[in-house]
Amino acid sequence: MTWTLDEAKTYLKEALDARSRILRSQEYTVGGDKSRSRRAELEQVNEDIKYWKREVDRLQAKADGRGGLRIRYGVSRFE
């Protein structure tokens, strides 16, 4: 799936907002363990934040003319 820079920024903001909500929330019990669900949610949201930061950086670089395909080559010498 492809998205625009603005869409990626929106997804990143939503993930950052979700992390703030998780961190501000009261602890709650799910299956007898208060912190496990909250910690798992926080770990997933942190992974989402990392992903969307990379996507925003990639798309911003592309928009600035710094991104795109990089081609490197070398010359083999056979003696």
Distance CA 50, CA 56 (A): 10
Span 19-78, pLDDT tens digits: 988 888 755 555 566 555 677 788 999 999 999 999 999 999 999 988 656 666 777 777
What pLDDT is stored for residue 14 in this prediction? 93
Identify whether 27 is part of a domain: yes
pTM as predicted: 0.69
Domain count along the chain: 1
Residue 6 has pLDDT above 70, yes or no: yes
Identify whether 74 is part of a domain: no
What pLDDT is stored for residue 78 in this prediction? 74
Identify whether 76 is part of a domain: no
Strand partners, 33: 30
Domain interval for residue 40 = 5-63
Identify whether 26 is part of a domain: yes
CA distances from 30 to 37, 45, 77 (A): 7, 19, 64
Identify whether 35 is part of a domain: yes
Q: Collect all residues with Cβ–Cβ distance below 8 Å to 38 and sequence separation of at least 6.
A: 22, 25, 27, 28
